[in-house]
A and B are shown apart, each in its own frame.
Chain A
Amino acid sequence: GDSVTQTEGLVTLTEGLPVMLNCTYQTIYSNPFLFWYVQHLNESPRLLLKSFTDNKRTEHQGFHATLHKSSSSFHLQKSSAQLSDSALYYCARLAHNTNTGKLTFGDGTVLTVKP
């Protein structure tokens, strides 16, 4: 069935270091749609990145991710972490067997960036 796995529940970094948050997915469909949502403290989630093209890098606000169907991965990366990047990050994939827009979310990764 559909599932999304984020292996790290909590990531703590020092400002300026690179960020990599892991995301892998399981699906029987050949064309997955993957998303990264970010939720800052006391705010609602908002879309950060999305992709449905294999091996194409997508970027936004300094973050980037590449969908790799060969490894079923959509890892989120940033070259240099900022204090304001501290937030909860969700990887999600769209369920393709319906037209409902149903997203399957991973458990989320809390990113804490320290000075």
Chain B
Amino acid sequence: DVKVTQSSRYLVKRTGEKVFLECVQDMDHENMFWYRQDPGLGLRLIYFSYDVKMKEKGDIPEGYSVSREKKERFSLILESASTNQTSMYLCASKIGGASTDTQYFGPGTRLTVL
């Protein structure tokens, strides 16, 4: 079974803090993704990576950066957290670049920025 894990289920941070969200997959997948999910807005893609050290902006990259130094790990960084970044963050991975490769999701991190 594919396993995607995220470092925290719940996280509370202060405005202006630097926040790291980590995602690890154990199936040697090439592609990894970060989404945020908000009521009424659905899942929105923040960044994705199709190879180690490669990254591409998604639909809402502002205020975020990412790092992929190893194939199995994809980190999302909030350089200076703001209250409008309070959200559910979801990581996903898929095996390769084909359109029909399935994305598998982690359990999510509920981030609250005070």
* Chains A and B come from one and the same complex: no
Q: Which residues of A contact B (CB under 8 A)?
A: none
